[in-house]
Amino acid sequence: MLRIKGLSYDVGGRELFTTLDLDVRAGESVAITGPSGSGKSTLLSCVLGLVRPAGGTVEVAGTDVTRLRGAALARHRSSKIGMVFQFGELLPELSPVDNVALAALLAGVPKDTAYRRAHELLEELGVPLTGASEQLSGGERQRTAVARALINSPALLLADEPTGALDAVARERVADVLFAMPGRHDCGLLLVTHDPAVAARADRVLALGDGTLSKADDAGTGAR
C-alpha cells in the first residue's frame, strides 16, 4: 500500500530525511515515534504529496506520488489515502454524517451512496448521528474523522497524533477503532504518535531520528 525508497528532504539547510525507506502492506499497522521536530508530520506530508522530496520515490497503491501533479495528484490522494489529524479538523457547523459524506461527495460519489456509507461507518464506529459536530466529545470527533478518512475505501490510512488531544478513555476507544481498520478494511495504517501505549498496539514500531527510520526499542526510541 505504501513503499518509500531512498527518500531525502532538506529543510532550512538541514537534512530532515537522508535515505529513508518504509513499506506498509495491506492489513498492516505501522507506528512512527520520534522527538518533536524529527519530521514525522513532514513524512506524512510527503506521502500525501503535499511536500516534494529532494529525492527518492513514494509509491501509494503502486503509483509514485512524487511524479504526480495538480488534478491527478488530488484525485489519487482522495481515492487512495485517508488522513486523520490530531484535532479531527471537522467542519463544526455540519453534522457528523455531513462531514463524512462530504469527503465522498468531493470524490464524485453519488449523494445517496455517500450518505448511506457515512451512516454505516459512523454506526460501525459508534458516533451519534444527530446534532452538530461541535457538540461531539473529543473522542467522538476523532472517530468521525476516522470515518471520514475511510469513506472512500483508501488503500492507506494516515494518522498524525490522532489521540494526542484525548483523555485516557477516549484514547483507548479511538485506538481500538484505528487499529481495527487494517483488518476490517484491508488498508495499511501509518500512525504517528508520542504515546508508547498507542504505538505498542501496532504490528511494527519505528523511530524517526537522524533522518532515517529504525526499529524502535521498548522506550519508543531508535535502537540500531
Which residue, 151 or 175, is less far from Mg ion as judged by CB? 175
The footprint of Mg ion on residues 37-76 (CB under 5 A) is 40-41
Stretch that binds Mg ion, among 3-11, 32-40, 93-101, 126-134 (CB under 5 A): 32-40
Query: Which residue carries 514525522 as its cell?
Result: 40
Q: Write the binding mask 7 to 26 for ligand ADP: x where contact by CB under 6 A, - elsewhere.
A: ----xx---x----------
Instruction: Report the Cα–Cα distance between both ends of the chain, in Å, rounded.
Output: 26
Which residue, 41 or 57, is less far from Mg ion as judged by CB? 41
Spatial CA neighbour of 87 closest among 142, 46, 17:
142
The footprint of ligand ADP on residues 33-52 (CB under 6 A) is 34, 36-42
Closest residue to Mg ion in the complex (CB): 41
Which residue, 38 or 142, is less far from ligand ADP as judged by CB? 38
Strands (DSSP E) found in the chain: 2-11, 14-24, 29-33, 55-60, 63-64, 81-84, 156-160, 188-192, 204-209, 212-215
Which backbone phi and psi does 21 adopt, to 5 degrees? -120, 145
Q: How many residues bind ligand ADP (CB under 6 A)?
A: 11
Q: Find the shortest distance in angstroms from Cβ 160 to Mg ion.
A: 6
Query: Which residue carries 484514547 as its cell?
Result: 171
SS3 137: coil
Which residue, 40 or 173, is less far from ligand ADP as judged by CB? 40
CB 194 within 8 A of CB 200: no
- List interacting residues with ligand ADP (CB under 6 A): 11-12, 16, 34, 36-42
